[in-house]
Structure 1
């Protein structure tokens, strides 16, 4: 439903997005991750027709966003929840969106119900809203026309734990009913919980992409013994590298090879198993360490 191919954006001599390619298929949630300034927002702005690309293409539902007939009716977008006019009520903001896209105004109550905003809250001025309420109003606007695709930038920002749980269920249900979700968020645990696929961007380029299962899966073997050094020496002789960790000895060799090395070394094994998978946070930090502001500082 979303297809981004060789997408590039340059501002003078600065390349903000560099040859980015990925897809978001029907029935899936794709987590779009990267440090601040990595190019995520620029990609999403190019996808939704707000910023022209220097080269490459970004298609949604088979076309450029701007070429879709009434794109707001088919693609729900929330890039900045704080962009609502502060003097309007929540209901007025949604009414204006409905009039702009030609959506039946009966959908306003449906959208408010989906995001958990009450009639009293919808009657309040947006300037009085908390950050979490603005997020809910922004999501209501994205869902107003019952779209096929959602493009969301930090939708959980400002939500309390119950709100985050609610949003996770909403996005999962949307995808399970055949929709496609492109989700940018810094809440890595929530992304890991809801996303089917992950795209990680750093310095404008993709540094990792694939299914969640593939990217966080473990590899190699963990062994704990009475003499890890002896096993490491046997593995090294057989052409396998091994490194020490807090849990024990880690190697890319399979468990059977490690077991034979321990036998040949005459060492009693206390634990031998495939290495645990890494969490999304560990993956993210490892892939983007060179882009972190703390490292740059």
Structure 2
């Protein structure tokens, strides 16, 4: 269980995160999504006790992370795969972690094999690892203490397609055995495939959260993408059909396709796409929720 309650983080006059609240339940994978600079990493650092919140609270397994005795035995964390000692070998890295956590060193060897780092790779220094190999080593460290909770920030970066499939299977199996997973990733299709719930953040605030089925069910309306969206948007507004613009220039209109098509004809707009809203899955949802407001001319 992870519980975040009105977390806020300010740096001087700048608010990085504002009143963020959500829960991650056992047996689920929660996809934590947002554009660069939205506040995902700051929120995860506060959950893990690495950054003190300005206000609000975060608990893992019912208590603040810093109050968990030997936390690696209960919570597996991977926030930055590049932050590993480059002079140690993979085996040395995991053996040291095993010593700190108080687990059998034989488990370190098993974990290296389980994440796809065989003996030859384990003998190499981490400084010579690819990003994908560092990710696998970081996952091995996160799982070493046999935790009940995983908190992972962009764990699939640098992985090839086989590695991404392996990661998806690993996280799904972990959750299906009762574990709790908080996963931040820019790979929206992979998150959509593995997650049970989504939390979407933009501008430091939560803009949507809920079960996958609930959020991805088409809410009605029409998705339209025009070669030049400006004139179409003006005609829609004049017709009493306000539209929400996505970052890709698309428009989501609370009207049926016929009304949108007639407005497009009136505007002389060349349409590239016209379909019911919601069929674009997580990517469409993400773009519609995280679009930045357009500046209007005075």
Q: TM-score range by the shorter chain?
A: 0.7 to 0.9
Matched, 1:82 2:77: no
Cα distance between partner residues in 2 of 1:7 and 1:102: 33
Residue 291 of structure 1 and its aligned partner are, at CA, apart by 7.9
Pair 274,187 (structure 1): closer, same or farther in 2 beyond 3 Å: closer
Kindly tell me: are residues 188 and 274 of structure 1, through their superposed partners in 2, closer, same or farther at Cα, counting changes over 3 Å? closer
Over the residues paired in the alignment, what is the CA RMSD in angstroms?
A: 2.7
The residue number in structure 2 matching 1:180 is 180
Structure 1 CA distance, aligned partners of 2:292 and 2:213? 24
Question: What residue in structure 2 maps to residue 145 of structure 1?
Answer: 145
Whole-angstrom distance in 2 between the partners of 1:291 and 1:138: 37
The answer (yes or no) to whether the contact 2:278–2:284 under 8 Å persists in 1 is: no
Which structure has the larger Rg?
1
Which runs of 4 or more aligned residues in structure 1 lie more than 2 Å from their structure 2 counterparts after TM superposition? 219-222, 240-243, 250-253, 273-278
3-state SS of paired residue (1:63): coil
> Which position in structure 2 is the counterpart of 1:55?
55
Quote the offset at 1:274 in angstroms: 7.5
Cross-structure match for 2:280: 278
| Corresponding residue number in structure 1 for 2:250 | none
Deviation at 1:252, TM superposition (A): 5.7
- 1:219, CA displacement in angstroms? 2.6
Match of 2:33 in 1: 33
Give 1:113 deviation, angstroms: 2.2
Give, in whole Å, the separation in 2 of the partners of 1:120 and 1:242: 60
TM-score by length of 2: 0.80
1:220 deviates by 2.7
Native 8 Å contact 1:98 1:104 kept in 2: yes
Give, in whole Å, the separation in 1 of the partners of 2:12 and 2:71.
30
> Do the aligned partners of 1:219 and 1:252 also contact (CA within 8 Å) in 2?
no
* Offset, 1:276: 5.2
Q: Which runs of 5+ in 2 are unaligned?
A: 223-239, 244-252, 257-274
1:76 and 1:144 map into 2 onto residues whose CA distance is 8
Distance 1:46 1:182 in 2: 13
SS of equivalent residue, structure 1 residue 20:
strand
Alignment-derived partner of residue 215 in structure 1: 215
**Cα deviation digits, residues 134-185 of structure 1 (max 9, x gap):** 1100100001111000000000000000100010000000000000000000
SS at 1:30 equivalent:
strand
